[in-house]
Homo-oligomer: A and B are copies of this chain.
């Protein structure tokens, strides 16, 4: 198992890709995004539609249309994307899937996972989308392979 679902992996990569092309004030089409992050085009389209409907990314139809991310959305933490796709199970759920796991009714892993959950939570809430633009532009970071 990976940390995120495939859907979420594609979603995050696509959002970072859109943000980074947006630095040039440029909208970008699904084909270019899919190629840029090495993901199945039609599947990614579905994911971006979903994020778009939820207002996390922005889009226009028609010629000169495409996806982009406005100022407000650029400031979003990564957790917004993760939550929209995978939910909050990663940083809120019980490691053993117990509905009623808590401080007073802990599962065996409760204490040891607490710190990790917090850590993941903090990270996803601290990082925001435009944070990587600089490094992405200069080719220091990879979104494919």
Contact = CB atoms under 8 A, between A and B. Distances in A.
Contacts of A142: 98, 100-101, 105-107
Interface string A64-78: 000000000000000
A120 B2 CA distance: 13
Contact of A1 (B13, B89, B95): B89
Interface size classification for chain A: 35 or more
Closest CB pairs A-B (n = 10): A1-B86, A108-B132, A9-B97, A2-B89, A108-B141, A100-B145, A3-B95, A9-B96, A112-B123, A1-B5
Interface of A: 1-6, 8-9, 12-13, 16, 86-87, 89-90, 93, 95-101, 105-110, 112-113, 115-116, 119-120, 123, 127, 132, 135-136, 140-145
